[in-house]
């Protein structure tokens, strides 16, 4: 009945034997939850976890784009070394191979390394692969440190607030008319979110977290912050004028409304407010651009270019089926060997589709490893949510928060994945962050179910033993 009751992967990552026993008024389940630190992060892990949360926020905001001196000190490398040192000082062991999807991620990295040898641009592919090793460490950090609901929820709040801040920057660019040659905002900073389409994808991915804060926040401040972030994110997505971003938002909100157990009144009230805010803030240029979604393939030059590039990517995959062209080389190989001047002109383009990008650059093995890595989170999240719903005898607030979190994470990953169908972002750090977050959340849920079942079985055993003693006394 409960799929995780004997799941070895659901066992705790740290030794919590030092936790004091629960008070006499608590149930077996309450004691088990405390004993496994499902609600509160162990004190030894709090500093590394805090550093991790700050690091993730910094990776998305990229303060070194605005303060050049920070870029010269290699902040990402220093942060990873700092977290590693803090974990070592606290005696925390890395849990990489005990995490779901760790092997597929490692396979993906090994494929990058192997195909770099035959790459069209060996030096760049090797450099990309070496830097990508940091993502394996990041995946391990999240899986090792985010093992209790307080850490998971604090990280979720942080991402929602970061999304709100990025939305403010996007809105500021729109108000100050800081536009690109196309007449749109240029995104944020110089890194992974510098393109408005990429920025829209990131904002869509954290929009469900604002919903989670709004409907399941325990404090008034949480709910207020959720409402503010939700409004800012809606406006931020609109001002990017990204058609892929709009489709991603529709997908994310649609999934959230389909699987959320919140009342219909609450869902429609929140939707009405968000849509109203977005419509009021929507510029005329965005309306004109969004109106081309249904006719883009026939009329829009950008859409026709993408179709031409996707076809070229298919030919690249066919010609390099086993070894691929090498990680990070799509644009170079397309421009030098597969350029479609009839529909795409003379410009060298990226894949504009993460599946096409993975297939062309890594070949069949890399494509399968990448697909497994990005698709399995849907199954992990859905399975964990279903298992938590089965233990409906547990009416704790934290369980309900965790269920809604899993629903929001499903919606977030759906929105992100839909956006990835229009962007070449299959190997960027947000992919690893969100997959690792999904893994961490599902692991916590699995442990919660296993703990509940074991406590229920222990209670049943105690009750049957007491009944047997009573019957013996009666005889």
DSSP string, 129-195: HHHHHHHHHHHHHHHHH--SHHHHHHHHHHHHHHHHHHHHHHHHHHHTT-B-TTSSB--SSSSTT-S
- Over residues 246-264, mean pLDDT: 84
Residues facing 179 on adjacent strands: 185
CB neighbours of 298 closer than 8 A, spacing ≥ 6? none
CB neighbours of 297 closer than 8 A, spacing ≥ 6? 303, 304, 307
Residues facing 185 on adjacent strands: 179
Q: What angle separates helix 196-216 from helix 397-420, to the nearest 10 degrees?
A: 170
CB neighbours of 16 closer than 8 A, spacing ≥ 6? 35, 36, 37, 42
Cβ atoms of 44 and 69 closer than 8 Å: no
The confidence band for 9, taking pLDDT boundaries of 50, 70 and 90, is very low
- Over residues 138-160, mean pLDDT: 94
Q: Which of 277, 363, 276 is nearest to 317 (CA)?
A: 363
The 10s digit of each residue's pLDDT in 363-379 is 999 999 999 999 999 99
The confidence band for 275, taking pLDDT boundaries of 50, 70 and 90, is low
Which pTM was predicted?
A: 0.85
Q: Secondary structure of the chain: what % helix, strand, coil (to 5)?
A: 75, 0, 25
Return the sign of the alpha-carbon dihedral for residues 258, 264, 267, 269: positive
**Looking at residue 383, what is its pLDDT?**
96
The 10s digit of each residue's pLDDT in 172-203 is 888 887 766 566 777 676 667 778 888 999 99
- The yes-or-no verdict on residue 42 having pLDDT over 90 is no
| C-alpha radius of gyration, the chain, whole number | 24
CB-based burial, 25-55: b 16+ in 10 Å, e otherwise: eeebbebbbbbbbbbebbeebbebbbbbbeb
* 3-class secondary-structure state, position 458: helix
CB neighbours of 390 closer than 8 A, spacing ≥ 6? 1, 2, 449
The confidence band for 240, taking pLDDT boundaries of 50, 70 and 90, is confident
Separation of first and last alpha carbons in the chain: 37
102-106, 190-194, 281-285: range with lowest mean pLDDT: 281-285
- Per-residue CA distances from 170 to 59, 210, 288 (Å): 17, 18, 19
Residue with tokens 């077996």: 28
Pairwise CA distance, residues 188 & 455, whole Å: 49
- The yes-or-no verdict on residue 213 having pLDDT over 60 is yes
The 10s digit of each residue's pLDDT in 105-123 is 999 999 999 989 888 888 8
Cβ atoms of 243 and 178 closer than 8 Å: no
- The yes-or-no verdict on residue 397 having pLDDT over 60 is yes
């Amino acid at each position: 009945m409960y799929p995780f009751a004997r799941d070895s992967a659901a066992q705790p990552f740290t030794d919590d034997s030092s936790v004091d026993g629960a008070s006499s008024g608590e149930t077996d389940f309450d004691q088990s939850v405390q004993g496994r630190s499902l609600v509160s992060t162990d004190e030894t892990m709090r500093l590394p976890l805090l550093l991790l949360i700050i690091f993730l926020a910094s990776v998305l905001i990229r303060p070194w784009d605005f303060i050049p001196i920070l870029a010269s000190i290699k902040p990402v490398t220093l942060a990873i070394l700092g977290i590693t040192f803090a974990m070592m000082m606290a005696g925390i062991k890395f849990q990489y191979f005990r995490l779901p999807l760790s092997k597929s991620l490692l396979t993906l990295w090994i494929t990058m390394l192997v195909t770099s040898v035959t790459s069209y641009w060996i030096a760049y592919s090797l450099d990309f692969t070496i830097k990508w090793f940091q993502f394996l460490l990041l995946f391990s950090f999240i899986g090792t440190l985010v093992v209790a609901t307080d850490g998971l929820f604090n990280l979720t709040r942080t991402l929602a607030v970061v999304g709100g801040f990025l939305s403010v920057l996007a809105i500021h660019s729109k108000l100050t008319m800081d536009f690109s040659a196309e007449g749109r905002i240029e995104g944020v900073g110089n890194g992974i979110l510098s393109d408005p389409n990429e920025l829209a994808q990131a904002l869509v991915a954290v929009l469900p977290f604002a919903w989670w804060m709004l409907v399941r926040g325990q404090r008034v401040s949480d709910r207020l912050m959720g409402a503010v972030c939700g409004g800012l994110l809606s406006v931020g997505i609109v001002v990017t004028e990204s058609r892929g971003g709009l489709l991603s938002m529709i997908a994310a909100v649609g999934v959230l409304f389909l699987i959320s157990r919140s009342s219909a009144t609450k869902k429609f009230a929140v939707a009405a407010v968000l849509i109203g805010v977005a419509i009021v803030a929507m510029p005329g240029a965005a309306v004109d651009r969004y109106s081309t979604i249904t006719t883009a393939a026939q009329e829009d030059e950008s859409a026709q270019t993408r179709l031409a590039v996707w076809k070229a990517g298919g030919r690249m995959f066919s010609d390099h089926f086993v070894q691929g062209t090498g990680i990070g080389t799509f644009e170079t190989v397309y421009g030098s060997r597969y350029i479609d001047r009839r529909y795409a002109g003379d410009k060298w383009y990226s894949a504009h589709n993460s599946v096409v990008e993975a297939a062309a650059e890594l070949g069949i093995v890399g494509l399968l490893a990448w697909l497994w890595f990005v698709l399995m989170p849907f199954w992990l999240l859905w399975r964990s949510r279903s298992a938590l719903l089965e233990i409906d005898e547990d009416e704790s607030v934290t369980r309900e928060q965790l269920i809604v979190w899993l629903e929001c994470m499903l919606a977030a990953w759906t929105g992100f994945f839909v956006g990835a169908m229009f962007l070449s972002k299959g190997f960027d750090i947000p992919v690893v962050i969100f997959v690792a977050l999904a893994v961490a959340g599902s692991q916590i849920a699995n442990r919660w179910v296993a703990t509940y079942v074991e406590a229920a079985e222990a209670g049943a055993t105690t009750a049957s033993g007491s009944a047997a003693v009573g019957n013996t006394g009666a005889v």
